[in-house]
Structures are given as structure tokens and as C-alpha cells.
Amino acid sequence: MRPYRETQVWIGPAARIEDATFVPAPPSRLQGCMDEMAASILNYAPREDEQTVQTVLTIPAQLAIAHAQFETIHPAPEG
């Protein structure tokens, strides 16, 4: 059994992918997406072009970013 979904999914009430609200990465890209997320989780660093006073994010803020990344990757075949 593969650890991630094997078919393309989409988010939204649409019956067709063309009408979807959001289309996550295709199955062939999931491993790379998950590897990148695992390598960077809780290691947020602002880019050079980001204008920010606070350069260190709190753990809850970093967890929120990680959760958003995970939801965007959407590695499971269903919710």
C-alpha cells in the first residue's frame, strides 16, 4: 500500500475537476511535497525580501503554517 493517494483529487462541490475550487498536487508529486514539508516543518525563516519586525515565529504560528501546508498538499484520497 502506498502511503499517499494514488488518484487526483479536487476540493469543492464541483463534479468536474475543471470546476474545482482547489486542485492539490498530482499523486506523482506528493512524495516530494511531503519530503519538503517534513524537512522544513517548524523551521520557518523569513525570506530576504520579507519585511518583518518579528523574525522568529512562535510555535503555534509555525504549527498553523505546517497545517496549512499539509492541507494544501492534501495527501489523502478523502478529507
Q: How far is CA 76 from CA 7, 17, 42, in A?
A: 9, 17, 22
Report the distance separating Cα 40 and Cα 27, nearest Å. 21
- Three-class secondary structure of residue 11 per DSSP: strand
Each residue's pLDDT, cut to its tens digit, for the chain (79 residues) gives: 568 999 999 998 888 999 999 999 999 999 999 999 998 887 777 777 766 666 677 888 888 989 999 999 999 987 6
pTM of the model: 0.75
